[in-house]
Structure 1
Amino acid sequence: MILSVKRLLSSLLLLAALLINSNAVTAQLLGSAKTTTEEPVKVPEDSLGRRTPQGTVNGFIKAIGEQNYLRASQYLVLSKRSYRKTTERIRIVKTFQQLLDQGGNLSPSSIISNKETGRTDDDLATGVDLVGNISTGKETIQLYVENQSDDSQPALWLFSAETVESILSADIRGEKTFLDRILPHYLKERKLGNVPIGHWAVVVVMTILSYLLARILIFVIGFVIQKLWKKADTENGTAIIEALTLPVHMYLTVILFVAFTQRMGISIVVRQRFSIIIITIGIVAFLILLWRMTDFVSMFARSRMSRKGRISAISAILFLSRTTKAAIVFVGIIAILGIIGVDVTAGLAALGIGGIALALGAQKTIENFVGSVSLIADQPLRVGDYCRVDDIKGTVESIGMRSTTLRTSARTIVTIPNGQLSASKIENFAHRDRFIFNPIFTFRMETTPDQMRYLLVELRSLLYAHPAVLNSPPIVRFTGITADALKVEITAYIEALNFEISQEVQEDILLRMMDIIEASGTSLAYPSQTLYMAQDSSPSNEKAAAVAETVKKWKEKNELQLPKFDPKRVEEIKDSIKYPGEGSFKPKED
């Protein structure tokens, strides 16, 4: 009985277990209503700041500055044997520090990568960064930091085993540096910022000496340039020398300071702190050089444009000069902020977005500026030119950075945006090398063929003979017979300095042509729609007969200059007309 009860209980428990398992399986197959989200695993911070190359170098310099050599040894890849011995770890770090003090050089902290991946734009292997070097008497030791972890673990950057091995095998030149041998004991014992006061004092002295020595070198270089360069005393030569003097002086001071402090054995802690200042001075010197060269180029360009009379280009040069200076200041601020360790990536991104918004908002302004640059570069018009823009005629009074103004013949001012002007069709009358003379004469239907021949010859002779008409063969052609007249078209080019003079020449030619028409015995035709009852006069029979006799003689002697003129005849009559004619006012010539 008892066994039966036990068996029954066992069966019930087994059945309950199966039901529970089946529900679990069903829940897995059908999907659960609640889903669990995995929380991101937080990477623990390294107490020594060795997650990046920059953190490793800064932590190592701080540790040796505080003379905590055991902590400094944790920034090095040491063998197990060396790591177990405290004295060996301290000896390795002190050797490293001594080599850095005697001839070592670490990159400024702002230049060293602050990312866990290190630098990826160099030629080194992934996970290896170059952070400095040490110059000994025989060799140069490259200082590398290397990521000791794999991809599945947080980054851990340490000075590589190769670097540590090179340090241990280096030939140390004496136990003490130059400064440690010459400085009094009290200047080495008393410290400021974990650095002996004597080192700070030597830094000040070296700064003054470097400045004075650089000044002497600049004087010597300037003296040599004055002797060797012939254009040194000219305005442009003096401007170039003045532009280069201050930046070169600053660069020489920095170079001399770095050379002196590195060879005198000043603590790497002091030099690493001064590295940011040194690079900042170098950047400032470069910016000053760009600023002064911008002033020189602007002055040279303005002087050249003034000599050429291109006054409109001066405003563009000033605008470009100011824009360049603003860009120099902006780039300089970004560079200096980056050197002192400020992350400017977010600021640059914000400025980029703001720049896009500003560009969209100032689209027309930018369009007008680009148009003004195009006008200045191509020079389709200049101040004082008489031109036509689309259907507007006028004289150019000014060309600004936004618009150009024209004064019309009605004495009104028309302002045209440069963006629109650069896209318009511009006809510049001031650039003409010749002026076309293209009258069309219509003669009476009673004009005889001989009278027409006479007119064609004499009109063309007049154009050949006139000194203000270009030597290109003028065209005088009998082109048609209309319902009420005989049509003659004339095409020639007048050589004149300006439009007013060309009008004077055209007036003289027309008056002489009227004399020829009068002498031919015919006259110009009046429109058939108009009746001139009183003014109309019959053609002169005597003149017509005389003209016919003249043409007859030309034919008999084969001297009829139609359809072409004899070149000998052209040479005979060329420039034979006195212009201005007899009785005209002639200004006295000095």
Structure 2
Amino acid sequence: MNSNTAKAQLLGSAKTPAEEPAKTPEDSLGRRTPQGTVNGFIKAIGDQNYLRASQYLVLSKRSYRKNAERVRIVKTFQQLLDQGGNLSPSSIISNKETGRTDDDLGTGVDHVGNISTNKAAIQLYVENQSDDSQPALWLFSSETVESIMDADIKGEKTFLDRVLPNVLIQKKLGNVPIGHWLVVVIMTVASYLLSRLLIFVLAFLIQKIWKKAATEKGEAVIEAFSLPVQMYLTVLLFVAFTQRMGISIVVRQRFSIIIITISIVAFLILLWRMTDFVSMFTRSRMNRRGRISAVSAILFLSRTTKVAIVFIGIIAILGIIGVDVTAGLAALGIGGIALALGAQKTIENFVGSVSLIADQPLRVGDYCRVDDIKGTVESIGMRSTMLRTSARTIVTIPNGQLSASKIENFAHRDRFIFNPIFNFRMETTPDQMRYLLVELRSLLYAHPSILNLTPIVRFTGITNDALKVEITAYIEASSFEVSQEVQEDLLLRMMDIIEKSGTSLAYPSQTLYVARNIPPSSEKAAEVSETVKKWKENNELQLPKFDPKRVEELKNSIKYPDDGSFNPDENNTII
């Protein structure tokens, strides 16, 4: 062993570039996939190259050696397809070397069509003839070929061959009799007219049977379904007519992509119209309920759905015509992630607006408080909500932030609390206090705008400079402004009661109040004491609780508004 060899063994041999995997050699006939086999066979018989077409069939050695036998088998196959055969559209057949793996057939076998005539019912299969160590080679299976060879079609002609003049059969366009192309055009027009007639009859029957067909909603539903259903009927009638008449399989297979494309477009039109119908119906419903803020969300969702319909339709049509959209979808997925990251706040605000519309914590026109901001809701958009404050300024709050904030909605109150606290002078006598407690509570019982709940009027304490009385009741009013009017009336009436009792309100000792000192009225105090004395003698002192009979007598005994107040008629307008 020389030194160079030993050195190489110690250091290891130099790394060679990674060998590229061997590529599968292309098949000159395109038989690596089921789709390539079917397309190659149709092209070969369209070119009338029957020997080439025979190479797409599994033939016995004896049949393969005889060119005339190979041509006979292919022509029989073509005639069967023309008479009542149907091959799957090219875009539906698998374009992978493994074939379809999601069907009930065994591995390496795909179903690509069928033949149904008066004397034959044949299922068409293609089968991978190679093992795992060799490139795929898909051919029409031996079972299919044997069924074709056993079919007896001698002397049989298609409907077109019997009807069309020889000149239209002998003259060819694209290796197809010109008469077949003329019949295709005629059948297209006939299928369209017949479908329109069927749709008219169907709509007439629906209007006779369905009572709501004459309503706006019924007409919208019929309008939404009419065009897509007509397109589907046209396609179905065209396929049925061309197959029954014996149109060449070459022509029908070329039209298969157009037929599937029309079917997809019809389905997309149906989705589009149903989106319009649902959007229109939902918007009208929201308008009737006064949920104006939901209309913008419905419009946004409707437009988003339509964009999705167009996007899905483009992908589906590109896939049908054979364009590989996998790379495009991957690129759009990456772009969508980048867009979502860049528009994170926008998406957050949109989700917030959806939650606001769904939960409805506030509506347009509601007076509410969001954190430390008070105002009336002016509008609820897809990105933000605008509040008009008492200073007549507009505050814009992003919906993402709004949905996470504490919202206090004053418009949803079913009652308004009335909770004044009175501090009376220390000179107030116990009888005067008893008089105040009874009369103040009587006022609350008697007032028609106080909710029919037991009001609370309590002598709650003696402070350093006053006697404290707390009042709690609830005002029943339609709005905050009306509750303010009732509160004003109650306070004025309470001032009258306080003045009549002979005492007065106290002022905090730390406040300097410069005024002429008016001593408490001894006459009123004596009068109040006499009143309370009579209550006690007659067991009518309504403390600590009121007599229920007395409560019933007091209810609604006060006239509100009071005499002398402006009280317009129903036809007048309060300004």
Q: Which residue of 2 aligns with 1:382?
A: 363
Q: Which residue of 2 aligns with 1:55?
A: 36
- Aligned partners of 2:429 and 2:272: how far apart in 1? 81
**One-letter amino acid of the structure 2 residue matched with residue 562 of structure 1:** L
Q: Give the match's secondary structure for 1:480.
A: strand
Q: Which residue of 1 aligns with 2:206?
A: 225
- Aligned partners of 2:276 and 2:19: how far apart in 1? 62
TM-score, L = length of structure 1: 0.93
Counterpart contact for 1:312–1:382, Cα < 8 Å: yes
Q: Which residue of 2 aligns with 1:7?
A: none
Is residue 262 of structure 1 aligned with residue 243 of structure 2?
Answer: yes
**Shift of residue 96 of structure 1?**
1.6
Deviates further, 230-239 or 305-314 = 305-314
**Shift of residue 37 of structure 1?**
5.2
**One-letter amino acid of the structure 2 residue matched with residue 238 of structure 1:** E
Inter-CA distance 575–175: structure 2 relative to 1 (3 Å threshold): same
* Mapping for residues 144-155 of structure 1, pairs under 5 Å: 144-155=125-136
Counterpart contact for 1:136–1:171, Cα < 8 Å: no
**One-letter amino acid of the structure 1 residue matched with residue 26 of structure 2:** E
Inter-CA distance 243–506: structure 2 relative to 1 (3 Å threshold): same
- Aligned partners of 1:293 and 1:522: how far apart in 2? 75
Deviates further, 341-350 or 110-119 = 110-119
1:383-424 Cα shifts (integer Å, max 9, x gaps): 211111111111111222221111111111111111111111
**Shift of residue 35 of structure 1?**
4.5
Inter-CA distance 150–545: structure 2 relative to 1 (3 Å threshold): same
Counterpart contact for 1:136–1:170, Cα < 8 Å: no
Q: Which residue of 2 aligns with 1:395?
A: 376
* Mapping for residues 355-504 of structure 1, pairs under 5 Å: 355-504=336-485
- Aligned partners of 1:171 and 1:190: how far apart in 2? 28
**Shift of residue 250 of structure 1?**
0.8
- Aligned partners of 2:56 and 2:240: how far apart in 1? 28
- How much is the aligned-residue C-alpha RMSD, in angstroms? 2.0
Q: Which residue of 2 aligns with 1:344?
A: 325
Is residue 532 of structure 1 aligned with residue 513 of structure 2?
Answer: yes
Is residue 100 of structure 1 aligned with residue 114 of structure 2?
Answer: no
1:558-587 Cα shifts (integer Å, max 9, x gaps): 222222222211111111100000110101
**One-letter amino acid of the structure 2 residue matched with residue 515 of structure 1:** D
Deviates further, 541-550 or 56-65 = 541-550
Count of residue correspondences: 571
Q: Which stretches of structure 1, 4 residues or longer, exceed 6 Å deviation after superposition?
A: 22-26
Q: Give the match's secondary structure for 2:123.
A: strand
Q: Which residue of 1 aligns with 2:187?
A: 206
Q: Give the match's secondary structure for 2:113.
A: strand
Inter-CA distance 173–479: structure 2 relative to 1 (3 Å threshold): farther
Q: Which residue of 2 aligns with 1:136?
A: 117
TM-score, L = length of structure 2: 0.95
**One-letter amino acid of the structure 1 residue matched with residue 309 of structure 2:** I
Is residue 67 of structure 1 aligned with residue 71 of structure 2?
Answer: no
- Aligned partners of 2:57 and 2:516: how far apart in 1? 120
Inter-CA distance 223–33: structure 2 relative to 1 (3 Å threshold): closer
Deviates further, 253-262 or 142-151 = 142-151
Task: Using the aligned pairs only, state the percent identity.
Answer: 86
Counterpart contact for 1:437–1:490, Cα < 8 Å: yes
Inter-CA distance 103–577: structure 2 relative to 1 (3 Å threshold): same
Segments of structure 1 that go 5 or more residues without pairing to the other structure are 1-18
Inter-CA distance 23–559: structure 2 relative to 1 (3 Å threshold): same
**Shift of residue 170 of structure 1?**
4.0
1:229-264 Cα shifts (integer Å, max 9, x gaps): 111111111111111111111111111000000111
Counterpart contact for 1:103–1:265, Cα < 8 Å: yes
**Shift of residue 489 of structure 1?**
1.1
* Mapping for residues 226-241 of structure 1, pairs under 5 Å: 226-241=207-222
- Aligned partners of 1:234 and 1:36: how far apart in 2? 76
Q: Which residue of 1 aligns with 2:504?
A: 523
Q: Give the match's secondary structure for 1:393.
A: strand
Is residue 309 of structure 1 aligned with residue 309 of structure 2?
Answer: no
- Aligned partners of 2:384 and 2:459: how far apart in 1? 49
Q: Which residue of 2 aligns with 1:3?
A: none
Deviates further, 485-494 or 311-320 = 311-320
**Shift of residue 183 of structure 1?**
1.3
* Mapping for residues 299-338 of structure 1, pairs under 5 Å: 299-338=280-319
- Aligned partners of 1:389 and 1:298: how far apart in 2? 31
**Shift of residue 28 of structure 1?**
5.7
Q: Give the match's secondary structure for 2:376.
A: strand
**Shift of residue 174 of structure 1?**
5.1
1:37-90 Cα shifts (integer Å, max 9, x gaps): 545323211010001111011001111111112211111122223323323222
- Aligned partners of 1:102 and 1:441: how far apart in 2? 104
- Aligned partners of 2:449 and 2:476: how far apart in 1? 5
- Aligned partners of 1:500 and 1:534: how far apart in 2? 34
- Aligned partners of 1:542 and 1:447: how far apart in 2? 14
Q: Which residue of 2 aligns with 1:587?
A: 568
Deviates further, 343-352 or 79-88 = 79-88
Q: Which residue of 2 aligns with 1:250?
A: 231
- Aligned partners of 2:283 and 2:20: how far apart in 1? 66
- Aligned partners of 1:357 and 1:23: how far apart in 2? 56
Deviates further, 399-408 or 258-267 = 399-408
**One-letter amino acid of the structure 2 residue matched with residue 450 of structure 1:** D
- Aligned partners of 1:146 and 1:197: how far apart in 2? 34
**Shift of residue 168 of structure 1?**
3.0
Inter-CA distance 419–140: structure 2 relative to 1 (3 Å threshold): farther
**One-letter amino acid of the structure 2 residue matched with residue 202 of structure 1:** V
- Aligned partners of 2:452 and 2:151: how far apart in 1? 91
